[in-house]
Structure 1
Amino acid sequence: MIDEPVLFCLHFLGGSAREWRPLAERLGPAARCVAIDLPGFGDAAGHPGGDVAAMADHVAARIEAEGPSGPWLIAGNSMGAKVALALARRHEDGDPALAGLAGLVLMAGSPPCPEPMAEERRRAMIAWIDADPETRRREAEAFVSANVGAPLSPEDHAQTVEDVLRANPDAWKAWLTGGANEDWRDRIGLLRVPALVVSGAQDGDLGPEAQAALTLPHLARHRHVVAVGAAHLLPLERPDEMATLIRAFLAAPPEEAEAPLLPPAFAALMGSERVNTRLRTTLRERMREPDGPFCLSVEARATLTACLDRVLPQPGPGRIDLARRIDARLASGTGDGWRFVTLPPDAEAYERALRTVDAAARDAHGHPFAALDASEQDALLARAASGDLPECPDGLAPDLMTCWFEEVRGEAVRTFLAHPAGLAAIGFTGIGAGGDEAEALPGYRLTGLNEREPWEQPVLETVGDAR
């Protein structure tokens, strides 16, 4: 529970602090909203704008001047969300001016990577901002209308159009040619601050698929909500819904992915005298999540996670994070000492193979692999297995993809079964084949069909017989 927080609010391209008034009114005492005009917009329109780092500096100075005494959060809509991500990274890197950051609220957020915008539309937006007043008003009206799922109230529509018209043209162009195209993926990395991510189902460029593929992989603790019928200007379109979501987020910020739990009967067996001390120690060590170092890019990790979800599905809560464990193994350079001689070293092979899978997904469906549905992902993985994926720059050749996919399937199974929860899931009781005093506790005596040892019964009654 976050008590009486301050919510610093950052607007969309062409917006202003006024965008947040409807939401602030509905949040009431749940949070105090401090809306900030980014350089070049709203009351700061006299400023020519700047890159993402400069905008982050501007907001950090305002936060420091405000001096929140307790926890605080940053809410960002579109352009403002990319600035919020940059500030979150500075906070996690130990910037004392940003101490106390307790959460992010990202609405239709611009991702850490360059925005997925058609160049023709980018050029058109740059052109009309410098046009004559009549053209600018007509285009501003069209811009606002195109970014909402349903018409705003007349008052909100008029105010938003006026905000667009008073934007500094230099700042507008600086974002479209600079900030929106900046690549912050490596700098942002993986953030651990809790995040609420909201996307509009009718948002063309930065909707649910884009958020899932481009933003969520950078957030270790996130909750993603899709606003049905809404588009890009979520604080104006859905202030009631956004206020409800933020209140729920403040009451219960998302935790990191739930760790897999051992069935009580298997846990009891693991802790019993039937399991020798060295094995028990090893099994318990394997339950710890690796904390790095890692080597895969954020995009590659997201693609690997999606691949593994299809290769080895884990239904229900508390899944083993196979991608995290494989990534740590790749970074350590350890392994079983075997690989296809035609493949490059493991870490390089994974990065290039996952790039190939993602490129094939974008080519076939216009979306990253992680954003596709299960049937589309399965079809692409079948093509990888048969050596039928197209080549891509810096990827793996089709025949090498066949080798890599055989490797990744084997590694998925090995990683799954190395975890006690994986052994429990298949009803494996072999860990109890003899404790520290093996002679006093012999393993299996009953070898007939469907015969079970008395000490196996609790485990096998819970998860089934894997023999």
Structure 2
Amino acid sequence: MVDAIAIDLPGFGDRASEGYADVRDVLDDLCKHLADLDLSRWVIVGHSMGGKFATLIAARAREGAAGLSGLVGVVLVAGSPPSPEPMDENRRAEMLRWFDDPAQLTEKAQKFIDDNTNDGLPEEARRQAIVDFVRTSPEAWKGWLAKGSREDWSAQAGVIALPCLIIAGEDDGDLREAAQRLKNAPHFRTVDSAVVPRAAHMIPQEQPDHLAELICKFCQTISATALPVQFVRLMASDRVSDRTRCAMLARHSGPGRTDGSVLSQAQLGVLAAVVARILPGASEPSDLARRLDAGLATGRGDGWRFADLPADVEAWALGLDTLAAAEPKFARLQGDVQDAILRAISTGDFDTQNEPSRLSANGMRLWFEDVASEAARLWMSLPATWAQIGYDGFATGDRGPLQGYQETAADVPEAWRLPLGSVR
């Protein structure tokens, strides 16, 4: 079940009387509103001009802004990008004049609907759209078209680790799928996209059921990776600095498509199977394998290697290839059989068939020790693991001197602490 909270932008909807506010002021306003809602697990959905703000809010969450740490995903629906919105300048100039004559607003609203839908709207949806258009602040309408939509915030947006679903209308003019891939997709590490048939720009009014289905499916997909509610609340508290919160969120998000890879898909499959036996039930093995691979690609390892092994990138690939060559079906074997093979490797008794292009039995012993150590180190460094074991040592304070701990007796927790096991 997903609860939906609608937020009007200044100058529009129920906030039409507020007039125009520039991008920074609107962004500050929305971030404060979201922090006041005290949401512990949420997805932000931005339609049209709201897409620009959804992306920029996600960027602030990435930087550890207080009150936004529960954000787990972004949905852009025909979203305006952080960079200047693509728009025909003649059409922009025409639209800037629409509010000059109040007597023609209803006619202009009808034109707006016709221009931005595939085949009009159902009667009730059309009526509401006209009402919303007519009550829009003229200053906000003109301000967005002339200024806000042209502001370039792409540098501030950067690349965001949160998963993003980009939804485009099949018949949208300026913001169809190609524009979304060019303007919005590069700002997210992980992107899924969907094209809504028989829809243009006003997707929420044209295809509301289809849109709701896409959003709910996206929420279900990412919910498994969300941090527990109590843990997020502690992260969002004033006991955690923005810098620490930022680092934790980045670590939780993990590597993306731009972080590099040195292992083949076959090698990653074997590594995931090995990790699953080293840390049974501790985490998603394929995720840990992907993180280990990214660490190899970037050199973010433990800083040492065995003298009898080559550099980590070569050693790990050789070890995985040696295991796969001796046990071609290793990844599909039963757990107890895999355990027996890994025990033989750990004691130096693994038969490598004396292949000169593979690691020796002793080399495999050292390789496995390194893999086991690095997998355990990586797993223990993840915020999801801290939540699972009830670790809260990161919550040392944000303002003034470190707040630290007051209670030192055994089995006497601080009032703010996470009860062990309560956030699993």
Q: TM-score range by the shorter chain?
A: 0.5 to 0.7
Match among 262, 266, 271 for residue 263 of structure 1: 266
Query: Which position in structure 1 is the counterpart of 2:168?
Result: 199
Q: Secondary structure at the match of 1:115?
A: coil
Answering whether residue 73 of structure 2 is matched by residue 65 of structure 1, we say no
Offset of 1:229 from its aligned partner?
1.6
Answering whether residue 290 of structure 2 is matched by residue 290 of structure 1, we say no
Answering whether residue 187 of structure 2 is matched by residue 218 of structure 1, we say yes
Q: What is the 5 A alignment of 1:297-312?
A: none
Q: What is the 5 A alignment of 1:345-364?
A: none
Match among 62, 70, 78 for residue 100 of structure 1: 70
Q: What is the 5 A alignment of 1:388-407?
A: none
Q: Residues of 2 paired with 1:178 and 1:245: CA distance?
A: 32
Query: Which position in structure 1 is the counterpart of 2:129?
Result: 160
Query: Which position in structure 2 is the counterpart of 1:125?
Result: 95
Offset of 1:33 from its aligned partner?
1.0
- Structure 2: any 5+ residue segments left out of the alignment? 226-252, 275-291, 301-313, 322-354, 361-424
Structure 1 residues 419 and 51: alpha-carbon distance in aligned structure 2, compared to 1, 3 A threshold? farther
Q: Is the 8 A contact 1:196 1:223 kept in 2?
A: yes
Q: Residues of 2 paired with 1:291 and 1:123: CA distance?
A: 52
| Corresponding letter in the other structure for 1:290 | T
Number of corresponding residues: 267
Structure 1 residues 419 and 244: alpha-carbon distance in aligned structure 2, compared to 1, 3 A threshold? farther
Q: Residues of 1 paired with 2:204 and 2:293: CA distance?
A: 46
Answering whether residue 115 of structure 2 is matched by residue 115 of structure 1, we say no
Q: Secondary structure at the match of 1:84?
A: helix
- Structure 1: any 5+ residue segments left out of the alignment? 1-29, 272-283, 293-416, 425-431, 438-467
Counting aligned pairs with the same residue, the percent is: 34
Structure 1 residues 225 and 434: alpha-carbon distance in aligned structure 2, compared to 1, 3 A threshold? closer
With the length of structure 1 as denominator, give the TM-score of the two structures.
Answer: 0.51
Offset of 1:288 from its aligned partner?
2.9
Q: Is the 8 A contact 1:156 1:236 kept in 2?
A: yes
Q: What is the 5 A alignment of 1:15-54?
A: 30-54=1-25
Q: What is the 5 A alignment of 1:219-238?
A: 219-238=188-207
- What is the RMSD computed on CA atoms of the aligned residues? 3.6
Structure 1 residues 290 and 238: alpha-carbon distance in aligned structure 2, compared to 1, 3 A threshold? farther
Structure 1 residues 178 and 291: alpha-carbon distance in aligned structure 2, compared to 1, 3 A threshold? farther
Q: Deviations over 1:15-61 (max 9, x none)?
A: xxxxxxxxxxxxxxx21111111000111111122122211122122
Offset of 1:63 from its aligned partner?
1.4
Structure 1 residues 179 and 291: alpha-carbon distance in aligned structure 2, compared to 1, 3 A threshold? farther
Answering whether residue 84 of structure 2 is matched by residue 81 of structure 1, we say no
Match among 123, 127, 141 for residue 172 of structure 1: 141
Answering whether residue 26 of structure 2 is matched by residue 55 of structure 1, we say yes
Offset of 1:226 from its aligned partner?
0.7
Q: Is the 8 A contact 1:74 1:84 kept in 2?
A: yes
Structure 1 residues 167 and 261: alpha-carbon distance in aligned structure 2, compared to 1, 3 A threshold? same
Q: Secondary structure at the match of 2:18?
A: coil
Offset of 1:434 from its aligned partner?
5.1
Q: Deviations over 1:225-282 (max 9, x none)?
A: 11112111111111111111111111113994596644369969xx9xxxxxxxxxxx
Q: Residues of 1 paired with 2:294 and 2:38: CA distance?
A: 44
With the length of structure 2 as denominator, give the TM-score of the two structures.
Answer: 0.56
Q: What is the 5 A alignment of 1:381-420?
A: none
Q: Is the 8 A contact 2:87 2:174 kept in 1?
A: yes
Q: Deviations over 1:368-413 (max 9, x none)?
A: xxxxxxxxxxxxxxxxxxxxxxxxxxxxxxxxxxxxxxxxxxxxxx
| Corresponding letter in the other structure for 1:104 | V
Q: Residues of 2 paired with 1:210 and 1:58: CA distance?
A: 28
Structure 1 residues 229 and 290: alpha-carbon distance in aligned structure 2, compared to 1, 3 A threshold? farther
Q: Deviations over 1:136-179 (max 9, x none)?
A: 22111100121111221111111101111110010111101111
